Amino acid sequence: MGHCVIAAIKQPLESWEQILSASITDADGLSAHFHIDKTQVEKVISRYPMAINPYYLGLIKKGGDSLYRQAVPDVQEIKDQRGYEDPLNEENLSPVPGLTHKYPDRVLFLVSSRCAMVCRFCNRKRKVGRPSMVTGESIKEGISYIKRTKSIRDVLLSGGDPLLLSDRELFHILSEIRSVPHVEIIRIGTRVPCTLPQRVTPQLVEILRGFHPLYINTHFNHPSEITPEAALACARLADAGIPLGCQTVLLRSVNDNPVIIKELMQKLLFIRVRPYYLFQADLARGTAHFWTPLEKGLKIVEALQGHTSGLCVPHFAVDLPGGGGKVPLLPENIRKTGKNRYMMKNYSGKEFLYPPQDL
């Protein structure tokens, strides 16, 4: 991968809307590509909708691989119903529908109910893909809440995927929020650079660059998702001065191993995306088959820290059920041995006194 490859991508023949409208949404469509049990898939889909667009479908190499598991329904979604409908208690922490105000200075504002792909592990599985999630009315109310709440200095747009709004709708929402004097930064959480990079058109980027300081956190989970198309989308955003972060989710049999995560983080940096969070999967109902033990994430961070650039190391965090918020976790590397005396462990496991004995 490199600039020559990026330059070699031609203008896509189809618009992102066309790619999206060719998404597979039923068992018949899916069975044309994979060997599946149609009855079972239909049962899952009737509870949790499916949408796989042709771009992401094309990245799946074989049934059961890391990308397949993120996109294709699994009967475990309805068989193993452990977990919570609303794992982060977002609804109860919403002063107006679709806006969660949990931390003192920032809010999470859902502005779209659509995604470029329906992820099977979604923590808003209860509502994504359902039309009622975000309405013109809820967006109006959210903007009005932001305007009248002076403590908000950071607005995080999410959904669904905010970049699935039309350029016009997005421009309108961004203009409204940017006009609020106490809002300092705007963030967009989007999986589009990964799941539908064709959406990042030069026109979209022209709109976004008018709203600085604007940050984008995207969401890649596997090195196979870092394609020339994704690299081009990220290059366009980065060239517009938008700092790019990544919020990866740790998922069983998708990416729960240090070799995969290290390769992913290194590839992200190469396309100018700075790893931000590595999340323990939320305890959302219908996603239990993706959960990993907490130690897994700690071990992975241990395998990154010091073994590769510090820029490659995301914060490993749990978003606490019930709305407790995000808690960053680190492997144990410090022990108090006396007054102002500590034993520290470096990345290779070697122990050091701090301050050194002779001081």
Q: Which residues bind ligand PLP (CB under 6 A)?
A: 100, 102-103, 106, 108, 156, 326
Q: How far is the CB of 70 from ligand PLP (least distance, A)?
A: 20
Nearer to ligand PLP, 71 or 107 (CB): 107
Nearer to ligand PLP, 42 or 154 (CB): 154
Q: Report yes or no: 192 and 218 within 8 Å, Cβ to Cβ.
A: yes
Nearer to ligand PLP, 65 or 141 (CB): 141
Q: Facing residues of 186 across strands?
A: 155, 214
Nearer to ligand PLP, 285 or 289 (CB): 285
Pairing of strands 185-189, 154-159: parallel
Q: Could you count the other beta carbons within 10 Å of the beta carbon of residue 223?
A: 18
Nearer to ligand PLP, 100 or 292 (CB): 100
Measure the CA–CA gap between 275 and 217, rounded to whole angstroms. Answer: 9
Measure the CA–CA gap between 326 and 328, rounded to whole angstroms. Answer: 6
Q: How far is CA 341 from CA 327, 336, 347, in A?
A: 27, 6, 20
DSSP structure class, residue 255: T
Which residues have a Cβ under 8 Å from the Cβ of 28 and sit 6 or more positions away?
A: 38
Nearer to ligand PLP, 84 or 103 (CB): 103
Q: How far is the CB of 306 from ligand PLP (least distance, A)?
A: 24
Q: Report yes or no: 155 and 177 within 8 Å, Cβ to Cβ.
A: yes
Q: How far is the CB of 320 from ligand PLP (least distance, A)?
A: 10
Measure the CA–CA gap between 235 and 327, rounded to whole angstroms. Answer: 31
Residue facing ligand PLP at closest CB distance: 108
Nearer to ligand PLP, 172 or 326 (CB): 326
Measure the CA–CA gap between 282 and 284, rounded to whole angstroms. Answer: 6
Q: How far is the CB of 100 from ligand PLP (least distance, A)?
A: 4
Measure the CA–CA gap between 19 and 26, rounded to whole angstroms. Answer: 16
